Structures are given as C-alpha cells and as structure tokens.
Structure 1
Amino acid sequence: MVSAPIDALQAQARRVATPITGGGQIVWHVWGEGAGGVPLVLLHGGSGSWTHWLRNIEALVAAGREVWAPDLPGFGDSDGVPEGQDVDTMLAPLEQGLRQLLGPRSFDLVGFSFGGMTAGMLAAAFPQGVRQLVVVGAPAMWMSSGKAVRLLGWRHLASESAREQAHRHNLQALMLHDPARIDADTLALHVQNVLRDRLPRRRLSQTDVLAQSLGRVACPVHAIYGRHDVLYSGRHAALEQAFVAATPRFAGMHWVEDAGHWVQYEQPARFDALLLSCLAAGGR
C-alpha cells in the first residue's frame, strides 16, 4: 500500500514545525541533514503535500543534497494562513520558516505546479538566500480561463466507487500522461492529498502572476515540464517565449519525454537527473 513508502521515507526524516502569524504552523520534513552544501527546498503542487516528491527525495539525498519539503499552508499537515485563500498569503510565513530553519544559508528552490508559482513569487518577494530557482509544470505564465482541463467533482458523490472513478478521471485528465501508471498506490496517494486540501477558492494560477514575478527574480531560473503537460498542449513554443520574455536570468527550458503534468512522479529517474544537472549548471 502507498502508506508503506510514505512511512519509510518519513522515518528517515526529521519533522519540524514553524509558526504562522495569527495561529497555526507549517510542517516541514528534512532529509540528508548535515550533508553539507546548499540546501534544496521542494514546494509541492496544489491539492498536494510533500508526497508529490515521494519518488524523488531518496535520489536527491543520495546525490548529496539536504532536502527540505514543507506541506504548504492549507495542505497536508500544515494549517492554513488565517483568512488566507491563495498563494500570496503564504509567502511571508514560508520566508519566516526558511529563515528560522536555514538561518543565513543560501538554498536552491524548486516548485511543482502551484508550488512552482509559489516558488517564483517567493523568490521575487524575498530574494535573500535564493541561489537559484527551478519551476516545474508551473501555471500562471499568462491569463487563463481555467477551462483547459475538465475535472470532476467528487465530494458530493455518495458511493466510494463513484468517488474513486472521479479521482481516477482527474489523475488522467490533469496529472499523468500514461493512464497505465495510475495504479492503486498512485490513486491512494492522490486521494490522501486532495482530502486535505483546504484552499478550494485559489484563483491566482489563472493569471500571469508567475510571469510578472519572474521579472523581479535575480537568480538563475530553469523550467522543467513534461512533454505532454495538458496545461500547455500545443503551446510549447509560446511557453518558452514567455519564460524568455519574463525572466532576466532565464537559464533554459527543459522537456521530459513521456511525461504529463506530474512529471517528477511519472518519470522520476529522468526528472531527477535533469534537475540535478540544472542545479549544477546554475550553481556555478
């Protein structure tokens, strides 16, 4: 069952919490602590948790990285920001948490999907300490109607089988390119995460807020996307042009073959090698 690899990975981590002004806390996990070098901070996607990186953390630690992965406010085990409904209210608590945990050390920042938008906005608002930024499958590079992917509602469904069908549909419609990869563990992991999503009204991902933020990011920026990411189907050239136009220190657009939106989960070995290559290049 999916709980076994999660439990095994959690057993290797130190769990720590940092406060949210007004009440609550952000829960973080760290692996490879004391490995030396520059810490690596991973921000997960919407309706997710640190487990969006379940298939990547061990390889990144094995490569010598000290890996920090929070549950973003309002997701997973973290409390929401009081009165907060979107990423803009998360930035200050995340920055405060990073300074509490890492002190004056610089760090590399990687964000997936909603977390990629968060990472870009965080690097723009609080550039101190961000050595380089990698955005993965991130939205908000231009204004959007939000209707590119049709997801099914599930909370109102009476039967467990109907809810499971809806979750499976949503995984195939948005997250993964190959439906054969939606096994029982992947479905269970997705369900665990969406059940703990307390931010249903977030809307900034339908704007160009990431593109606007990247214009104020001073560090090198890489972008990694699955070749079959449905958010940008047929618009690969436009997406690359948007990054080039928005980002003063754009270091490169990278596509992972045979992968959809959740690229690091669908093709973990390819993604990990590419991410480490980007980090090595940007860190010189």
Structure 2
Amino acid sequence: MADSAVPLPFVNVLTPAIPAGQPVPAVLIHGWASGSVYWEPLARKLLDAGREVWIVDLPGYHPGEELPPDFEWTLDSAAASVAAALDARSAAPAGRSAAPAARSAAPAGRPAVHLVGHSMGGSVSLTLAAARPDLVASLTLVGMAPVPQNQGFKTVLNSQLDQGFFDSGTIAKLMHAWYGDLSAADMVRLSAGFKTPVQVLSASAVAAMSGVEPSVPGRVHAPLLVIAGTGDQVRPMEQMRAFVAENPDRQLQAIPGAGHNVHWEQPEQCAQALTEFWETSWPPPA
C-alpha cells in the first residue's frame, strides 16, 4: 500500500441499542460513484441484530472534503487511508475521537474488523486485507470478484473520462444497470455519488476498471465470503463462482433475483448471510 501520508476518511459509527454477540464491528466500504446512503437498509438490519457498524466514505467522496493536492487516488492509497483510520480508532483512548473524521471512538486495543466491500469497495477491501491482515477478522465482497471488468462498463466509463464529465444520460444508464427501476426520490438520493468532484470520480473509475494487482487475492488469508445477486449485470454469477471455487476457504452466498446492489435490494438476506458468516468464521479455531 501507499507509504506516504494519506487523508483519514470520514467514518460514521453506528452503535446498536442492545449489543449482541461478538464486539467486532462491521466496516462497510462503498463502490464507485456511490456513498453511505445505499448502505442504510443493511446497516439498519445489522444494528437490529446488535452489530456495531462503521460506514466509510472513501477519500474525496465525503461532501465538502478536500483532498491534499498531492494525493493520488489508487486502490493502494484508498486502502491505506482506510487502514490509517482503523489504526487511529484502535489506538484512541476510550471515549475520545481517534480522528477528526470519526464521530465516536472505538474501544482501545480492538484487534480487527469485519470488512464488507461493495464493487470497487471490494477491491479496496481486498487490497487492505492483503497488506494489513492484522486489521481484518473477515472479508466479504458484495457484488464483486477480482476478475476482468465488464467490457461494456469499461467502454461507457472510458467515453465519459474522455469527455471530462459524466452526462445525465450515462448516469441514468448506469443507475438502471446497478439498481433496476427506482423511484424518483431514490434516484436522486442514490445518484448523489456522481456529484463527487470529477477528479476523484475519474481517478477512482480508473482504479475500479484496473482492479486489484493479480497477487492480491492469494495474499488474503482472512475468512472470505462473496455475496452476489443472481441478476447482477455487472459481475455475472459464473465469475463469482469461479473465484470462490479457486480456494476452499472462500464461500459464496447467492441472493436470488437481486442485482448488483444486492445489499440495497435484499438487506435482510444480506444481513443474515453476514451474521451467519461472522458467527461461524470468527474467532478462528484455537
């Protein structure tokens, strides 16, 4: 990962009214042109199950955030940014904020978190898990496997990068591929990620299309779950199955009828799959 100083991302910490089970928090990392809003249905289900949830805004994606002028947006630098925030929160004394971006402090000495990354956020999570295994209790990839990107998606993004902005027609096309039919209100809320500064959108789009360095998946030794919608138009199920089949320690949970943003469409099924995975994979056998 990047060795230079990285900006600490914004972290929204949500604490359940009645904690249950393990104290390991779930850290949700969004995909390209997305943000915290699309995690809300899943976060509510996890909170109802007694799980603490941290929702991360990747560098440059939080409204009003200004990145250092020398910050280069890559999967490595984004992963290093999240790792720095996790390090800071674990080191913070109880009751004090670990970083300006954090709303509350985590207990000191917390060893690891359950990473949950969607789409490009899955690539960030894989990169982080490979470089900093000490921070990761488990890893879940949602709507993502580290395989070659859909060529149609790459063609659309490259056309927008060439023209220097993302036009409304392309945004609508992408949103339909990701979510299917949306109400007007949900379209406005969920497409807000496209208001991210174009420099950040462009650089993170290149990162999303490039994907993880080939050695990364093999260097991840945390328990790994893939959650995929059977109707995903971005990452077909055969790609998910092929990735999981490469390693007996990987698991696949297919959600019938759901699309690319399976956590938005089927939050209850996703929450159930996550909690069962965490309960059976962590802590590891003595």
The TM tier, using the shorter chain, reads 0.7 to 0.9
TM-score by length of 1: 0.77
Q: CA RMSD in A?
A: 2.8
Tell me the residue number matched to 1:230: 233
CA contact (8 A) 1:258 1:267 kept: no
Q: Which amino acid letter does the alignment assign opposite residue 224 of structure 2?
A: V
Tell me the residue number matched to 2:74: 86
Percent identical among aligned pairs is: 24
Q: Residues 99-248 of structure 1: matches in 2 within 5 Å? A: 99-103=87-91, 104-105=109-110, 106-139=112-145, 141-144=146-149, 146-148=151-153, 151=156, 155=165, 163=168, 166-173=170-177, 175-176=178-179, 178-179=180-181, 182-197=182-197, 198-202=200-204, 203-207=206-210, 209=212, 212-233=215-236, 236-245=237-246, 247=247
Q: Which amino acid letter does the alignment assign opposite residue 194 of structure 2?
A: V
- Give CA-to-partner distance per residue, 1:193-226, whole Å, 9 cap, x none: 2101523133243345266312111211000111
Q: Which amino acid letter does the alignment assign opposite residue 69 of structure 1?
A: I
What is the CA-CA distance between 1:150 and the residue it aligns to? 6.2
What is the CA-CA distance between 1:124 and the residue it aligns to? 0.4
CA contact (8 A) 2:137 2:282 kept: yes
Aligned length: 250
The alignment partner of 2:41 has SS state of coil
TM-score by length of 2: 0.77
Indicate which of 30, 35, 40 corresponds to 2:13.
Answer: 30
What is the CA-CA distance between 1:271 and the residue it aligns to? 1.7
- Give CA-to-partner distance per residue, 1:90-133, whole Å, 9 cap, x none: 22221111011134312111111111111111000011031111
What is the CA-CA distance between 1:274 and the residue it aligns to? 1.8
The 4+ residue runs of structure 1 with deviation greater than 6 A are none
Q: Which amino acid letter does the alignment assign opposite residue 82 of structure 2?
A: L
- 2-structure distance, mates of 1:193, 1:148: 17
Q: Which amino acid letter does the alignment assign opposite residue 78 of structure 2?
A: M
What is the CA-CA distance between 1:278 and the residue it aligns to? 1.9
Tell me the residue number matched to 1:7: none
Q: Which amino acid letter does the alignment assign opposite residue 121 of structure 1?
A: T
CA contact (8 A) 2:147 2:239 kept: no
The answer to whether 1:55 aligns with 2:47 is: no
